[in-house]
Amino acid sequence: MVDPFYVQPDDELADMQPQLKRALALSDADFARLSPEVRNLFAARRRLGHSWLDDYEVVVEIVSNPGGCTCGVAPGQRIVLSMRHAIKPELSDAPLCVHLLSPILAVFYMTFDRASEGLNPLTPIWRFYECPHTGEDGGAAKARCRVHLRRADTHEPVESRILPGTAGSAP
C-alpha cells in the first residue's frame, strides 16, 4: 500500500508547479532542486485542499493579567489571526502588543507541518503561553493566553485531534 503522506521520488508535483513557481518566483532549475522534505510539504496541500488556510483561524484569548501590564490587555479579550498569520482586527478586541503576540510565531511555525499530517495544529501542548516581557517583578505581572483553532465560517472551536476533511479523518 502506498503511504498517502509520502511523496514518491518521481512525483514532479506537476499539478502544482505553475502556482508554486509563480508564488515563490522559482525557475524550472530551482523547482528541480527542491528537497524531498519540501516536496512533502507542498504535496500536503493536496491532502488539505487549497482552502485550508481560509477555513480556520487562530484565537489568542487573554486568560489572566495579574500585574496589569502596560499594554492594557484584560482577561476575556481576544486577538484573532488568519492561518496566513494576519490579524483580523474586525474580530479582535484586545490591544495589540508585540510582546504578547511574539510567542504566536512559534505556534504558526508548527501549524502547517501538523496540519499536513491531518492533525489539529494546536494540541494541549500549545494551548497556553505567556507574554515574554519580564519586568522588574521577575515576570509575575505577565499576561497569559489560551490559544485555540476555530472554524472561520462558524467560529466553532476545533477540539478534535484530527482536522475534519483531511486524509487522517473519518469520512
Range of the domain at 33: 17-48
pLDDT at 158: 81
Q: Quick one: 115 and 142 in the same domain?
A: yes
| Sheet strand arrangement including 56-64 | 78-82, 56-64, 144-151, 128-130
Looking at the domain assignment, is residue 118 inside a domain? yes
Q: Quick one: 135 and 117 in the same domain?
A: yes
Domain count, the chain: 2
Q: Quick one: 71 and 27 in the same domain?
A: no
Q: Quick one: 61 and 145 in the same domain?
A: yes
Q: Quick one: 85 and 43 in the same domain?
A: no
Q: Quick one: 106 and 80 in the same domain?
A: yes
Q: CB–CB of 157/58 below 8 Å?
A: no
Looking at the domain assignment, is residue 168 inside a domain? no
pLDDT at 152: 92
pLDDT at 146: 92
Q: How do the pLDDT tens digits run along the chain, 171 residues long? A: 455 555 565 677 888 888 778 877 889 998 888 888 788 777 766 666 656 778 888 999 999 988 777 788 999 999 999 887 899 999 999 998 888 888 888 777 777 667 666 676 666 556 888 888 777 777 777 889 998 888 899 999 887 776 665 544 444
Number of helices (H), then strands (E), belonging to the chain: the values are 6, 4
Looking at the domain assignment, is residue 90 inside a domain? yes
Looking at the domain assignment, is residue 79 inside a domain? yes
Looking at the domain assignment, is residue 39 inside a domain? yes
CA pair distance 65, 142, nearest whole angstrom: 6
Q: Quick one: 70 and 119 in the same domain?
A: yes
